[in-house]
Chains A and B, each alone.
Chain A
């Protein structure tokens, strides 16, 4: 399903890690792989990890971050990626990552087109199914795709280019050096021409041969670095783009699950199985671990059947818990500060922030298609870690991994949600129990209530000041446990011996915290520590792991330090920042956003920075907290303070597609606004109250800043940094800082509206609301 249709080609290009000693950084070894048309592979292995010695200053991520860990753990298998050029002149690449809207298929097509001197339109990038041989090289997360795949893809494309040129040299009677490749056509000095389509068979090899390649210097890029529209845009705007639930798998009928009224509860007994089985359209009803599964001719009939079921439930691990009880557990787990002795006259600033549970659900709910037979299984789903999903499905079904095919389908958003194969595993179990193929969809209400959340967390910060200097900065971040069982944890364990000194003694989450948290200020003695509490919540990353919360706490705190020292937030940051790229971003947003301009009472600017993913961001927002704005009325909505302007500057290193990067920053700002102001789950009596988008207040058009500007900073970096999550942290922080300045009150709980439950919770039994019937009364 995800394999391109190229009947003649068995070919591929592979790329591998670092260059041999003494060879330029652009020289690599690749392979022309035996095949009927041109197939190449690249060899990019062996890059030495960063130095193992980490001084106390700078911090760990400045030398070796989570991206390095991911990139280095992917290197040994990077030669297993292949590019094929078929006899139509089309280049095919099945990327071992998942497209979820972040634009990696477009970026990969651009990289290949640049190195192969061919039109982007002639490059087809599809999503590879689960490939267990890739081990650590098939996880989409940590904004790492371009970091880890940029060079392997280029090397593979360069091998293909070399093979095509050699074939052209023979065909045209010219030397390779005299040929010019452009637009998928090779031209000789005498005007002789051959297209890649014509050359693809001649360029093929009957045996696999190692070749040296030299990559195009970055100065001669003509596709990379130029704005390009998404390769799937036409499909998206015509409705032709197909997501999991749009796939037509024979006999995979709509299937849903009646879920418990409390988080992670389980079914004890069902009173009316026979009656529900007899409902119109219903074909099967079975009890599974997570609830009672229903299969029917249409999803509408599944919803009716779910509502009709009478189930007795067991309560689950957090029965009776609420926001307050969880907060008490977190407070009790907060690690003590360990401030070294400071002079008596030093001033101390101490603040504590709380971050509520947030649903990481995308608009496309959890869904998967599964066709499980006695001796094999086939699954289709949006999966960012398909190898782990494949393993878990095999284990759940008692099948060998080789008998479980896992197809990766483009996702309708992810934001971390699709790191886990929850729906795929559940669908496989249901298919086995029913003995039939199923197309499983979670109801929207299931998502905030039973789906993955970003864990509740607190962040306490204490700093000491003396004579205009910050002597110490201590942060104690305490979080409900974040689930890393999607494969990142395994990588960390496997790479333990390569990690900077000291990390080996930390637990998994603490290691990831240390590898991602960077406070790019000169604040004397800095300590940032994480502690976790495991209460049995369904958690995961949500467009970043810890950084949006940590950055929000830090930057709000830094504004308070600036106030103590009677300094402007901008000049204070510029005085203490030690990272020039961060400073450049900060100066840029201050200039473009006109930092410090006069603003009416009740409105204010906020400014914040973040440093991660080998890059830097700064955000300036303006917020309107005046009553006439805060109290504006929109039906079934949260209005509240309005961010009226957002300016974001990003230095993401080498930028493949500036238009895509800008899109990611736009999304990051939308997320940041929601995290600061409106979006959270309320835990009450063992369940989350939220059940849909009229309860869970992600940013909507009435919350969007009317003015948005994104500046992509110039960079001389040779490699891309991360983009997908990079825009969130500084956005939530800047919004929080602006809110504090506009209202004169430093918010300490996020989102700021969490204290108000502004909706009537939907039914818990049955677990999903009825489908409305009055749609024709609301046409426009």
Chain B
């Protein structure tokens, strides 16, 4: 066992866990942060999508030893705080469009959507159909059309 310190949702945390445990399990099983979901464990389904230093990543594929005290992990639970509101504009758009069905993939979908909007904006352009086609998050309920609509809506609100 080893101690690892990093930041989660605005707070510094220290966990006592083996170096190679993937961050998803540190979040879920050690810290009890259950917004990021398990859907495959091999960075395919994207249900665990969260942010590291503002960029989307998948904690199922990162060893805890690879994050340090200055790394800021944001899960769906901490997303509203990044804009100092009760809800992030993307979450508002999600509610407006009633996107969720079972809801299992939705935290990951929203975190991926926010990162997509940010990266497209950084390129100084608007979201295209190709951008939306490139989203890899699986929604087994198949609510993909509402996800696409909500991302465009959320982008306008952001």
Which A279-313 residues have a C-beta within 8 angstroms of B? 280-281, 297-301, 303-304
Are A444 and B41 neighbours in the complex by a CB distance under 8 Å? yes
Q: Does the CB pair A663–B101 fall under 8 Å? A: yes
Q: Does A667 contact B (CB under 8 A)?
A: yes
Q: Which of B29, B57, B110, B142 contacts A699 (CB 8 A)?
A: B142
Contact of B95 among A102, A233, A693 (CB under 8 A): A233
Q: Please tell me if the beta carbons of A698 and B138 are within 8 angstroms of each other in the complex.
A: yes
Q: Please, what's the 1-or-0 string for B48-66, where 1 marks a CB less than 8 Å from any CB in chain A?
A: 0000100111111111001
Would you call A693 and B40 a contact (CB within 8 A)? yes
What residues on A are CB-neighbors of B77 within 8 Å? 238-239
Chain A residues with CB under 8 Å of B75's CB are: 239
Q: Are B44 and A236 in touch, CB under 8 angstroms? A: no
CA distance A648 to B39 in the complex (A): 30
Q: Are B98 and A303 in contact (CB under 8 A)?
A: no
Chain B residues with a Cβ closer than 8 Å to the other chain, count: 78
The answer to whether A362 touches B102, judged by C-beta atoms less than 8 angstroms apart, is yes
Contact B40 A413 (CB under 8 A): no
Interface locus among A264-272, A487-495, A771-779: A771-779
Chain A residue with the shortest CB-CB distance to B132: A701
Chain B residues with Cβ below 8 Å from A361 are 140
A778 to B104, CA, bound (A): 22
Residues of B contacting A775 in the complex (Cβ-Cβ under 8 angstroms): 23, 43, 57-62
Give Cα distance in the complex from A659 to B34, angstroms.
28
Quick one: closest B residue to A636, CB to CB? B44
**Could you tell me the distance between the alpha carbons of A300 and B77 in the complex, rounded to whole angstroms?**
22
Q: How far is the CA of A774 from the CA of B56 in the complex (A)?
A: 14
Verify if A752 is at the interface (C-beta below 8 Å from B).
Answer: no
CB closest chain-A residue, reference B45: A693
Q: How far does the Cβ of A132 sit from chain B's closest Cβ, in whole Å? A: 27
Contacts of A412 in B (CB 8 A): 37, 102-105
Of A156-164, A243-251, A600-608, the stretch lying at the interface with chain B is: A243-251
CB contacts under 8 Å to B, within A32-66, are none
CB of B83 to closest CB in A, whole Å: 14
Separation in Å of the B76 CB from the closest CB of chain A?
Answer: 4
Q: Contact check, B57 vs A363: say whether CB atoms are below 8 A apart.
A: no
CA distance A234 to B107 in the complex (A): 11
A242 to B133, CA, bound (A): 29
With A281-B18, A300-B24, A706-B129: A248-B94 Cβ-Cβ less than 8 Å: no
| Chain B residues with CB below 8 A from A705, complex form | 145
Known contacts A101-B102, A237-B94: does B34 contact A246 (CB below 8 Å)? yes
Give A363-375 as 1s and 0s: 1 = Cβ < 8 Å from B's Cβ atoms. Answer: 1110000000000
Q: Which of the segments A471-479, A516-524, A668-676 contacts the partner chain?
A: A668-676
Pick the residue among A234, A415, A692, A773 that contacts B62 (CB under 8 A): A773
Task: Pick from B37, B66, B148: contact of A364, CB below 8 A.
Answer: B37
- Does any Cβ of B come within 8 Å of A72's Cβ? no
14 A-B pairs within 8 Å (CB atoms) are namely: A101-B102, A102-B101, A233-B99, A239-B77, A239-B107, A243-B104, A363-B37, A363-B45, A363-B138, A413-B102, A772-B43, A774-B61, A775-B62, A778-B61
Q: Closest residue of chain A to B88, judged by CB?
A: A237
Provide the residues of chain B in CB contact with A241, threshold 8 Å. 103
Give B contacts to A, CB under 8 Å.
1, 17-18, 20-26, 28-30, 32, 34-45, 47, 52, 55-63, 66, 75-77, 80, 87, 91, 94-95, 98-107, 110, 115-116, 119, 129, 132-148
Asked whether, in the complex, the Cβ of A363 is within 8 Å of the Cβ of B115, the reply is: no
B residues in contact with A100, CB < 8 Å: 102
| Interface: A76 (CB within 8 A) | no
Closest residue of chain B to A443, judged by CB? Answer: B41
List residues of chain B with CB within 8 A of the CB of A239: 34-36, 75-77, 107
> Could you tell me if B148 and A667 are in contact, using CB atoms closer than 8 angstroms?
no
Interface pair A701/B94, CB less than 8 Å apart:
no
Most chain B beta carbons < 10 A, residue from A236, A364, A702: A236
CB-based contact B44/A780 at 8 Å: no
Whether B87 lies near A238 (C-beta < 8 A) is yes
Chain A residues with Cβ below 8 Å from B38 are: 245, 299, 365, 441
Q: Which residues of chain B are near A230, meaning CB under 8 Å?
A: 98, 100
A-B interface, 8 closest residue pairs, ranked by CB to CB distance from nearest: A670-B142, A239-B35, A101-B102, A412-B104, A775-B61, A236-B103, A239-B76, A667-B142
Closest chain-A Cβ to B10's Cβ sits at a distance in Å of 15
Complex CA gap A446/B41 in Å reads 12
Quick one: given A776-B57, A778-B57, are A667 and B143 in contact (CB under 8 Å)?
Answer: yes
B57 touches A237 (CB 8 A): no
Known: A241-B103, A299-B38, A361-B140. 19 other contacts (CB 8 A): A101-B103, A239-B34, A240-B35, A245-B28, A248-B32, A297-B29, A298-B29, A299-B25, A301-B18, A301-B21, A364-B39, A411-B102, A441-B38, A444-B42, A659-B98, A698-B138, A771-B61, A776-B66, A778-B57
- A234 to B106 Cα, complex, angstroms: 11
Give B154 Cβ to nearest chain A Cβ, in Å: 11
- Quick check: A704 and B145 within 8 Å, CB to CB? yes
Q: How far is the CB of A258 from chain B (nearest CB, A)?
A: 15
B138 contacts which chain A residues (CB < 8 A)? 363, 693, 698, 700
B103 CB contacts on chain A under 8 angstroms: 101, 232, 235-237, 241, 412
Bound together, the chains give a CA A242 to CA B34 distance in angstroms of 8
Contact residues, A67-107 vs B (CB, 8 A): 100-103
Q: What's the Cα separation between A491 and B157 when bound, in Å?
A: 51
Asked if A769 is at the interface (CB within 8 A of a chain B CB), the reply is yes
- Which chain B residues lie closer than 8 Å to A774 at the CB level? 61
A666: Cβ under 8 A from any B Cβ: yes
Q: Which residues of A contact B116 (CB under 8 A)?
A: 780
Smallest Cβ distance from B88 to chain A, in angstroms?
A: 9
CB within 8 A of B100: which of A237, A668, A771? Answer: A237
Specify the chain A residue showing the minimal Cβ separation from B92.
A237
Contacting B40 at CB < 8 Å: which of A236, A410, A692, A699?
A: A692
A248 vs B87: C-alpha distance in the bound complex, in angstroms? 25
B-contact 0/1 string along A562-606, CB 8 Å cutoff: 000000000000000000000000000000000000000000000
Q: Assess whether A780 is in contact with B45, with CB atoms less than 8 Å apart.
A: no
Chain B: minimal CB distance from A103 (Å): 7
- Supposing A412-B103, A692-B40, A694-B44 touch, asked if A773 and B144 sit within 8 A by C-beta, the answer is no
Q: Given known contacts A281-B18, A670-B144, A775-B57, is B42 in contact with A692 (CB within 8 Å)?
A: yes
Say yes or no: A779 contacts B56, CB within 8 Å: yes
Asked if A229 is at the interface of the complex by the 8 Å CB criterion, the answer is yes
Residues of B within 8 A of A304 (CB): 20
CB contact between A362 and one of B34, B57, B62, B104 (< 8 Å): that residue: B104
Which of B56, B95, B103 has the largest count of A CB atoms less than 10 A from its CB?
B103
